[in-house]
Amino acid sequence: MHLTDDERRIAEGSEGSAKAMAMRLVAETGRLLGAPRLLNVASAHVDGCLYHGDSGTHFAERLAKDGGRVAVPTTLNVGALDLLHPDRVKGNAHHREMAGRMMQAYERLGCRPTWTCAPYQAGHRPAAGTDVAWGESNAVAFCNSVLGARTNRYGDFLDIACALVGRAPDYGLHRPENRRATVVVDASALSPALRDADVFYPVLGTWLGAEIGSEIAAIDGLPPRQSEDRLKALGAAAASAGAVGLFHVVGSTPEAPTLAAATQSGSTRTIRLTPEMIRAARDRLSTATDGAVDCIALGSPHFSEAEIAELRRLAAGRRFRMPVYVCTRRDLVERSNLSDLEAAGAVIVADTCVVVTPILPDTGGTLMTNSGKFAHYGPANLGYDVVYGSLADCVATAVEGRLTRAEALWR
């Protein structure tokens, strides 16, 4: 790897010990990955701010104590506390203290306290073709696919190191030639009604991640100009079920105005989706298919304004018979009056989410969700069985007090 004179000086301590350590981490990672050089990044999104143990807190505090300060605009992923509703979290005193110290340390480093896994819905939207250093799997998939910016999946704690020095290794999805689709997914045989239903997109993402792993797909045959919430749901599920960091949807995402553009006119293999394949993927999202449902979990990734509005429409004048946990970003909570949803029985969660923080009752049971990501991680992380359904299914179940799912689309 070639380092510039300026990068060498930073690694040797010319701008302080925090930046020196960060530059050495970024450069050594690049060397291990075979990158020929580092490149400048315009922004960062940090996933390492979620408390998993004391060492992560000490690492962030060390960077702050040594004078670290981010060199580019940097947002923060979810933390392990709901700072707007402190009583939501059930962790012990040590967990709360160390999680809080970690969150404070990242703020001292100059990061913007967004505390959301959907920074792209909180104003962090790099321009197409821009190199950035983002962590969090759904955010990476959205950044690459929907915004057309360029990032690899920067894990804890490489993400903050990149932010401190404003550099990242030049490899992988930063390079245009590595962004072309090598797999074409033809969805044209599926019913038009299914392809135009919100509930389909997490299922498609789940199938995509399980089928192609880390390959890059161009999905053809979907209605053009898909909403950001559908693309968000698709990418989050694909990144959870596999290692998808970039996908193209022909007619909807910036690098896929045509199929030829998405594939860069190179060779590909084609997979033709059938209703049976998609139905099987939907069924795999549920570990429970009948019986009692104990709670509903929504908002992974965090709910957007449009999703909140749709939940309000579905819940208007109704009362939930079970807790409905709605995870969303703090800026939306702070500027919105969500009292109508709370009156219906919703539990609003900000700054974190119920899959990574002890918020649900520890009794176990069955959780229903419209999120492919929640469905994927819920059983292992929470000890709850999961039922997958549409947002309308989730609201109907909460109102009726029993599992209610519309099946017509899947037949």
CATH number of residue 321's parent domain? 3.30.499.10
Asked if residue 159 is part of any domain, the answer here is: yes
Look up residue 64 and give its amino acid: A
- Are 86 and 163 found together in one domain? yes
Distance, CA of 392 to CA of 82 (rounded, Å): 27
Distance, CA of 10 to CA of 375 (rounded, Å): 44
Query: Any idea which residue has 């709850």 for tokens?
Result: 384
- Are 11 and 156 found together in one domain? yes
- Are 160 and 208 found together in one domain? no
Distances in Å between the alpha carbon of 342 and those of 311, 320, 361, 368, 369? 12, 10, 18, 18, 18
- Are 91 and 40 found together in one domain? yes
Per-residue pLDDT of the chain (411 residues; tens, 9 = 90+): 899 999 999 999 999 999 999 999 999 999 999 999 999 999 999 999 999 999 999 999 999 999 999 999 999 999 999 999 999 998 899 999 999 999 999 999 999 999 999 999 999 999 999 999 999 999 999 999 999 999 999 999 999 999 999 999 999 999 999 999 999 999 999 999 999 999 999 999 999 999 999 899 999 999 999 999 999 999 999 999 999 999 999 999 999 999 999 999 998 999 999 999 999 999 999 999 778 999 999 999 999 999 999 999 999 999 999 999 999 999 999 999 999 999 999 999 999 999 999 999 988 899 999 999 999 999 999 999 999 999 999 999 999 999 999 999 888
Asked if residue 259 is part of any domain, the answer here is: yes
- Are 84 and 58 found together in one domain? yes
Greatest C-alpha distance within the chain: 67
What total of structural domains would you count in the chain?
A: 3
What are 141-197's pLDDT values in tens digits?
A: 999 999 999 999 999 999 999 999 999 999 999 999 999 999 999 999 999 999 999
Asked if residue 410 is part of any domain, the answer here is: no
Distance, CA of 401 to CA of 380 (rounded, Å): 25
Asked if residue 206 is part of any domain, the answer here is: yes
Q: Can you read off the two tokens belonging to residue 166?
A: 């404003």
Do 235 and 138 contact (CB within 8 A), yes or no? yes
- Are 21 and 165 found together in one domain? yes
Distance, CA of 304 to CA of 355 (rounded, Å): 18
Asked if residue 68 is part of any domain, the answer here is: yes
In sign, the C-alpha dihedral spanning 190, 194, 199, 201 is positive
Distance, CA of 284 to CA of 207 (rounded, Å): 9
Give me the numbers of helices (H) and strands (E) for the chain, helices first please.
16, 14
Distances in Å between the alpha carbon of 43 and those of 108, 163, 368? 17, 7, 36
Last residue of a domain, one of 140, 173, 206: 173
What are 239-248's pLDDT values in tens digits?
A: 999 999 999 9
- Are 99 and 212 found together in one domain? no
Q: Can you read off the two tokens belonging to residue 214?
A: 């880390």
- Could you tell me which of 106, 164, 162 has the C-alpha nearest to residue 131? 162
Last residue of a domain, one of 254, 283, 312: 283
- Are 77 and 49 found together in one domain? yes
Q: Which domain holds residue 209?
A: 180-283
- Are 296 and 383 found together in one domain? yes
Do 364 and 384 contact (CB within 8 A), yes or no? yes
Do 306 and 379 contact (CB within 8 A), yes or no? no
The pTM assigned to this predicted structure is: 0.96
Q: Are strands 74-76 and 44-46 parallel, antiparallel or unpaired?
A: parallel
Last residue of a domain, one of 153, 173, 193: 173
Asked if residue 408 is part of any domain, the answer here is: no
> 50: domain CATH number?
3.30.499
Asked if residue 409 is part of any domain, the answer here is: no
Asked if residue 411 is part of any domain, the answer here is: no
- Are 245 and 257 found together in one domain? yes
SS3 state at 100: helix
End-to-end CA distance of the chain: 55
- Phi first, then psi, for residue 343 (nearest 5°) are -65, -30
Q: How far is CA 375 from the centre of its chain?
A: 14
pLDDT value for 47? 97
| Residues 6+ away with beta carbon under 8 Å from 96 | 81, 89
- Are 290 and 277 found together in one domain? no
- Are 61 and 125 found together in one domain? yes
